[in-house]
Chains A and B, each alone.
Chain A
C-alpha cells in the first residue's frame, strides 16, 4: 500500500463505484432511473479504460453505451407506456361532436389513468378496412392492444384483445357493469398454427 499513486487510488475508487452502480441497476424499479444508471455505468467504465491507456476503446464505449443505447431504451419504454386502440366504430361511442367525449372514451380514459398508461386511439383507414375475421391476426401481427367493434345484432360494443395481456382482464372487470360492452379475448396461438 506504500506506493499507491493517485491514478491507482482513483482506479480502485472507480471499480468500487462500478460495483455499486451494477447493484443499483439490478435493484432499482424505476425504468427512467435505470437508463441514467446504465449511462453512468458506461461513463465510469470509459474512465477506467482511459486510466488503463485505452482511449480508443473509451471513445467507442462512450458513443455506444452512454449515448445510443440509452436513447434506444428511452424510445422502447415510451412505446411500452402506450395503450394503442383501433377504433372501428363509426358512431359517437368514442368521438362525439368531433372530440373525445363519448362514453367509451370516458371509460377507457379512467382505465388508462388508473394504470398510468397513455391512450393512443387511432382509426387508421387501412387497418379499419380489414374484415372482422382479421381482428385476431391484427392483434398478433401489429402492436394494437385493443380493437373496438360494434355487434349489430345485440347492439353491443365489443372490446377485442389478446388473452395473454393482463390489462384486458382488468378492462373486463371494469366494464362488468356496462351492459352494452362485451370483452372478447383471443387465445394465444403458436406461430404457424
Chain B
C-alpha cells in the first residue's frame, strides 16, 4: 500500500518537475530588464521618491501594498481569536514579574528607548529618501514599545482601543490612496498632479508612510500583548 503510494507521489513529482522545466524555457522573456530600466529612468520623476522600493510600493504597486496591510490586520484578528480570552480579560494587568527582569536590562532599556523611538520615526518619515519606510519603521517603533513593557511591568494596555485605532488607520490609508481618483482620474496613486514638484509629491509619500508605520506598529503591539497576556 505504502509502496504504491510512494510510486504515485514520485510520478506526480516527476510530472511537476517536467512541466516546470518546460515552463521555464523562455527565460529571456521572463528575466528582462524593461521594468528595472523604466523605474530607474522615470521613477523619481513620476513618484517623487528617491528610494525606488518606496516608489514601487507606494505608487506603482500601491494596490498590492493595501492588501499587505490588510494581511497584518487579519493576522492580528486571528491571533486575538486564537488566544481565546475575550477583550476585557486581555486588558488585565501586564505580567512580566518585576523581580525577574534584571536591573541591568531595565536600566539599559530606559537608555535605549527614546533612541529607538526616534530612529523608528526617522526611518518612517525618511522612507522615500533613504532605505526604510512604513513597515520597517513601524517594526522599530513596535520594538521600542515592547521594551517599555520591560521597564514598567505594571503597565496596562487596552487592546480593544489599539485594534480599533488600527482599523480606522487602515480605512484612512484606503481613502488617502483613493483621492487620486478625483485629481488624476485613476485609483491608488499619488494624489498630486503628475507635473507637480518633487516636494509636493513627497507630501503624499510621507503621509502614507506615516499611516502605514502607525498601522504596523499598532498591529505588532497587539500581537505581542496577546502573547504577554496569554500567560495569566
Chain A residues with CB under 8 Å of chain B are 55-56, 58-60, 63-64, 67-68, 71-72, 75-76, 78-79, 82, 141, 143
Given contacts A56-B53, A56-B133, contact A63 B140 (CB under 8 A): yes
Which 5 A/B pairs are nearest by Cβ-Cβ distance? Answer: A55-B131, A63-B139, A59-B136, A79-B231, A67-B143
Whether B224 is near chain A, meaning CB under 8 Å from some CB there, is yes
- State whether B228 touches A60 (Cβ < 8 A): no
By secondary structure, the B interface counts as helix
The chain B residue sitting closest to A118, CB to CB, is B100
Subset of 15 A-B contacts with CB under 8 Å: A56-B53, A59-B123, A59-B136, A60-B135, A63-B140, A64-B139, A67-B139, A67-B143, A67-B146, A68-B220, A72-B227, A79-B231, A82-B231, A143-B230, A143-B231
Specify which chain A residues have a CB less than 8 angstroms from the CB of B51 in the assembled complex.
56
Which residues of B come within 8 Å of A, CB atoms?
Answer: 51, 53, 84, 96, 100, 123, 131-133, 135-136, 139-140, 142-143, 146, 220, 224, 227-228, 230-232
Cα-based distance from A120 to B101 in the complex (angstroms): 16
Residues of A within 8 A of B224 (CB): 68, 71-72, 75
Closest to A63 in B: B139
Instruction: Using A60-B135, A75-B224, A143-B232 as known contacts, list a sample of 6 further A-B pairs with CB atoms less than 8 Å apart, ordered by residue number in A.
Output: A56-B51, A56-B53, A59-B123, A68-B139, A71-B143, A71-B146
A192 to B124 Cα, complex, angstroms: 46
Q: Assuming A59-B123, A63-B139, A68-B139, is B132 touching A79 (CB within 8 A)?
A: no
Looking at the complex, which one of B96, B132, B142, B227 makes contact with A59 (CB distance below 8 Å)? B132
B143: contacting residue among A55, A58, A63, A143, CB under 8 A: A63
Residues from chain B with a CB closer than 8 A to the CB of A71 are 143, 146, 224
Bound complex: CA A32 to CA B226 (Å): 22
Do A60 and B136 touch across chains, with their CB atoms under 8 A apart?
Answer: yes
| Residue in A68, A141, A143 whose Cβ sees the most chain B Cβ within 10 Å | A68
Q: Is the interface of A mostly helix, strand, loop or mixed?
A: helix
Query: CB-CB < 8 A to A78: which residues of B?
Result: 96, 100
Docked Cα-Cα span, A81 to B100, in Å, equals: 12
Chain B, Cβ-Cβ closest to A76: B227
B231's closest neighbor in chain A, by CB?
A79
Determine the chain B residues whose CB is within 8 A of the CB of A72 once the complex forms.
224, 227
Residues in B whose Cβ lies below 8 Å from that of A82: 231
Q: How far is the CA of A59 from the CA of B140 in the complex (A)?
A: 9
